[in-house]
Amino acid sequence: MMQKIKSLMTRQGLKSPQESMADLSPVENLRIPSKEELRELREQPIDPLAEQEIIDSIEEIYFSNDSFDMVQHELEKLPPELNLKELEEYRDKLKRQQAAVSKKVADLILEKQPSYVKELERVTALQTNLQLAAVICTNARRQLSVAKEGFTEASLGLLANQRRRQLLTGLLKSLRTIKTLQRTDVRLSEMLEEEDYPGAIQLCLECQKAASTFKHYSCISELNSKLQDTLEQIEEQLDVALSKTCKHFDVSHYTKVQMAYTLLGKTQTAMDQLHMHFTQAIHNTVFQVVLGYVELCAGNADTKFQKMQYKDLCTHITLDSYIPCLTDLCKALWEVMLSYHRTMQWHEKHDKQESTPIPDDAGAESDELLVDRSYVKKKLEHGLTRIWQDVQLKVKAYILGTDMSNFKYDDFIVVLDVISRLMQVGEEFCGSKSEVLQESIKRQSINYFKNYHRARLEELRMFLENETWELCPVKSNFNIAQLHEFKFMGQCRSPSVSPSRQTVTSTSPAQEELSLFQQYIQEGNPFEMHIEHKDEETEDVLASNGYESDELEKSVYQDYDSDSDVPEELKQDYVDEQTGDVPVKSVSRETIRSRKKSDYNLSKSNAPILTNTTLNVIRLVGKYMQMMNILKPIAFDVIHCVSQLFDYYLYAVYTFFGRNDMYESSGLGLISSRLRTTLNRIQESLIDMEAVGENVGVHGPTEDRKEKVPSPHLSQLVVLTNSGTLYGLAQRVVATESLVFLAEQFESLQSHLDTMMPAAKKPFLQQFYSQTVSTASELRKPIYWIVAAKAIDYEQMLLMMAGVKWDIREIMSQHNVYVDVLLKEFEQFNTRLGDVSRHVRIPLPVSNVLWEHCIRLANRTLVEGYANVKKCSNEGRALMQLDFQQFLMKLEKLTDLRPIPDKEFVETYIKAYYLTENDMEQFIKNHREYSMKQLANLVNVCLGSHINKKARQKLLAAIDDIDRPKR
């Protein structure tokens, strides 16, 4: 009983049902408690909670998996001394525990009874099925042994024959294939002659594949090696075909070649080979072109030009063949670059077509394709700069092979234009700034330009020394843009012009230029246009500007028949009074009001005043700018030379007409400090002061003096000492105003020159304009001063004033005679101005300067005359004022110059006579414009009237103390 309970307890314990089942023997598994036992267990009523408590009080060891001896366990627990009562109590406790467990087990058995019955039924059914399966297996084995015994030898023989037949059929097919393979050699040759490289390679590869299938036949192994040789031969021919694309790219031809390389799986190799061929093509092309010209011009068969290096060959080009050879060189290189450009286009187009979605099964193949495509793309892009670098180096060797310093200007411009076009090709080809080309052409240009500029400066000196300063008749609407030398400035903005001349790209999208590669991709060559340009520019421009045509020359002067017919818009000043600039379209009221008096410009049309030399300088500036426009790297050198042309012209005008030591010390500040600085700078940097004789230049430091030019000498035909011509006023006006005109033209070119200048050198240009160009009009003062100083006899007036008696005692109502004489001199001066203006237009600023100088000199002479007076009364002072007022009144009728210059200079001096001692001292300190002699005389004349001897001493001491700086 105890064993049964234990086993039941174990099934209910911590183990899973499978483990529990495994622990029980089959007998225990199948044994069910008897009905009496179950009933007995159920009949004992007990509280479930109490029952659970009893079960919980059972020792843990009873629930363990280990089989142990319970009796032994209990016996071992007994104390040494046994107590019956305690034993009985313990026994009762064990019985209660056993009853509780038995009851729990009985409940569980009753609960699981239906499941147990059902599972038993399934076991029985499985047993029946297994018995049936055993019967089927037995029958099958029996039938198999029957079939084995029934299979005969005849059937096997039949199958063996069928197999032999199939083998022979396969052999026949192989023999036919072998026969075909033997004949492929002939077909391959035909295909190569037709240049069907992809087909030939396809056939060859198929043959190789077939041959490898039949390599067990001895006759095939020989064929295989022959096919390999053929394939190598095809590759060689393919390489030759690839090299042909470098000069004349043909789409179908290149497509075949690329397909062939793709079949060979050598796309990357092909690309490497192609670049090698392009490099070779560039070298061979340039060598052949230059060699052709050298041999043509040499005429000496002994020299072995073929063996020469390309660099040495370039040095044998003659001056006559230089430009045609350069053009042909660029044409040939263009063909190579165009072929490369078209090769790239082919690959781009091909990549786009191939980049269609690829099916999954071709994944590995597509990866390989992508690698190839990426390699080709990178190689082609890298090749752009390599090829352009090769082109640059070849052209550089050609450029530097010849000394261009003695080229004609037009020829040199063509060379620059060709190289400029080539640099544009480089810009479009690979975005290169063509540093190699720029550097080489810069070297040649600086060399050429120094020689050219040197010759032009010498030429300018010759012009200036032969210049008679006569007016050059041009139309009133003359503009430098009409000169051929400045045509390029208009072309800068014209879309129809050759791109090499374009410096300003059009902003309008409609006028956008096609790139050279787009224009000439099919036919033509961008280097074929230059000869046309040269022809266009050889036309004569003089007549169109009125230099040679009598009719046009006449038209310059027939704008004005009479003053009343003058159109309003022509009454404008040619030059603005204050600034010396040309007004845009404004008419000064002052000018219209004063045209009969001060403005002598209406006796001629408002045509610009310029001479042949001025025109020559302007043309030179145009040529220089043309060179600078094409060749930006030497822009600074050119602008520096342009500034020297202006400097030399300005210096010449000053030395011819403005330099006069006698009048420079007049104290009137004729030459501003800025102008003086400019003149000193020009003399130091540009004028060769040592060049006295012809051969001086041979000695001395030649490098330093190479940059300098001897000072020019005025032509002997120009007479500046004749009073009848107002001391050469006409020539002075032409010279000075032509300089002002030249300065204006320079002003108009400033923005264009500024865009050409490198940023670092822009301060030079600004300085040139602010310190030199803007000083041109300032030369009017010293030049016209000389005329003003000689035109009126100031000495005679001083003598007449010395004879006047000033210490009179009664107030006079009649002015002195010297005033009338002076005014008569002014009237005569006015008449002479009118005479001069019949030959040369005298602009308003010029007449204003002349009048201002004359009046200033007259006023200073008056003060000098008054300062020579030994004795003078108050009435004498009043007479001085009367004389001066009479002079002013009559003068104002002669000139419209307002205010009268230096009027206060005279008035202040006359009024100073009335000053008291203290005021006189202050006057001496404040008025430093008067000479010490004039101030001392003022003090001496006042002695006795209102200044005593002591005061006189004090005032004379004050005059001595004052340090009088020159104004």
| Cα(371)–Cα(385) distance, integer angstroms | 22
Mean pLDDT of 192-208: 70
| Cα(897)–Cα(911) distance, integer angstroms | 24
CB neighbourhood size of 582 (10 A): 17
Residue that the structure tokens 């019956």 belong to: 84
Q: What is the pLDDT of residue 885?
A: 93
Angular region, 403: left φ>0, alpha ψ -120 to 50, beta rest: beta
Alpha-carbon distances, residue 434 vs 147, 391, 398, 403, 428 (angstroms): 95, 10, 15, 21, 11
Q: What is the pLDDT of residue 420?
A: 86
Q: How far apart are the first and last CA of the chain?
A: 151
Mean pLDDT of 242-246: 82
Alpha-carbon distances, residue 360 vs 154, 364, 366, 441 (angstroms): 52, 9, 9, 58
Mean pLDDT of 814-840: 90
113-122, 158-167, 197-206, 595-604: the lowest-pLDDT one:
595-604
Mean pLDDT of 891-898: 88
198, containing H or E segment: helix 197-213
| Cα(476)–Cα(680) distance, integer angstroms | 35
Question: Given a cut of 80, is residue 455 above it in pLDDT?
Answer: yes
Buried b (16+ CB within 10 A) or exposed e, 742-776: bbbbbeebeebbeebbeeeeeeebeebbeebbbbb
- Residue 236 CA, chain-centre distance (Å), reads 45
Question: Given a cut of 70, is residue 927 above it in pLDDT?
Answer: yes
| Cα(852)–Cα(884) distance, integer angstroms | 17
| Cα(687)–Cα(707) distance, integer angstroms | 9
- Do 662 and 740 meet the contact criterion of CB atoms below 8 Å apart? no
Task: Name the pLDDT band for 355 (thresholds 50, 70, 90).
Answer: low
What are the tokens at 318?
Answer: 């003659």
| Cα(272)–Cα(275) distance, integer angstroms | 5
Question: Given a cut of 70, is residue 643 above it in pLDDT?
Answer: yes
Torsion of CA 204, 210, 211, 215, to 10 degrees: 160
The residues, ordered by sequence, that sit 6+ positions from 777 with a Cβ below 8 Å of its Cβ are 575, 579, 580, 740, 743, 845
Q: What is the pLDDT of residue 152?
A: 58
Question: Given a cut of 70, is residue 35 above it in pLDDT?
Answer: no
| Cα(877)–Cα(879) distance, integer angstroms | 5
| Cα(597)–Cα(202) distance, integer angstroms | 102
Decide which of 132 and 534 is more confident.
132
| Cα(374)–Cα(351) distance, integer angstroms | 10
| Cα(543)–Cα(541) distance, integer angstroms | 6
150-154, 373-377, 594-598: the lowest-pLDDT one:
594-598
| Cα(298)–Cα(316) distance, integer angstroms | 8
What are the tokens at 384?
Answer: 């752009």
Of 195, 722, 480, the residue nearest 730 (C-alpha): 722
Mean pLDDT of 134-158: 79
The residues, ordered by sequence, that sit 6+ positions from 388 with a Cβ below 8 Å of its Cβ are 337, 426, 429, 430, 432, 434
Alpha-carbon distances, residue 127 vs 17, 122, 123, 134, 794 (angstroms): 24, 9, 6, 11, 162
Q: What is the pLDDT of residue 824?
A: 93
CB neighbourhood size of 468 (10 A): 13
HSE-CB at 966 with a 13 A cutoff on CA atoms is: 10
Strand spans (E) along 271-365: none
Of 81, 58, 62, 64, the residue nearest 73 (C-alpha): 62
The pLDDT tens digits for 748-769 are 999 988 988 888 888 999 999 9
Question: Given a cut of 60, is residue 27 above it in pLDDT?
Answer: no
Q: What is the pLDDT of residue 40?
A: 56
Question: Given a cut of 80, is residue 557 above it in pLDDT?
Answer: no
- Do 380 and 271 meet the contact criterion of CB atoms below 8 Å apart? yes
The pLDDT tens digits for 650-686 are 999 998 888 776 555 555 667 788 888 898 998 898 8
The one-letter code for the residue type at 860 is R
Question: Given a cut of 50, is residue 542 above it in pLDDT?
Answer: no
Of 626, 716, 643, the residue nearest 678 (C-alpha): 643
- Do 18 and 25 meet the contact criterion of CB atoms below 8 Å apart? no
| Cα(795)–Cα(801) distance, integer angstroms | 10
28-37, 119-128, 711-720, 849-858: the lowest-pLDDT one:
28-37
Q: What is the pLDDT of residue 882?
A: 92
| Cα(14)–Cα(168) distance, integer angstroms | 78
Alpha-carbon distances, residue 461 vs 248, 449, 469 (angstroms): 55, 18, 14
For residue 476, count CB atoms less than 10 angstroms from its CB and return exposed for 0-12, middle for 13-18, buried for 19 or more: middle
The one-letter code for the residue type at 11 is R
Q: What is the pLDDT of residue 462?
A: 92
Mean pLDDT of 872-881: 90
Task: Name the pLDDT band for 251 (thresholds 50, 70, 90).
Answer: confident
Mean pLDDT of 775-792: 88
Judge if pTM exceeds 0.85: no
221-230, 465-474, 734-743, 859-868: the lowest-pLDDT one:
221-230
In the three-class reduction of DSSP (H, G, I as helix; E, B as strand; rest coil), residue 419 is classed as: helix
| Cα(84)–Cα(263) distance, integer angstroms | 111
Question: Given a cut of 70, is residue 547 above it in pLDDT?
Answer: no
| Cα(639)–Cα(502) distance, integer angstroms | 20
Alpha-carbon distances, residue 584 vs 388, 588, 604 (angstroms): 49, 11, 20
Cis-peptide into 899, omega within 30 deg: yes
Buried b (16+ CB within 10 A) or exposed e, 93-117: eeeebbbbbbbbbbeebeeeeeeee
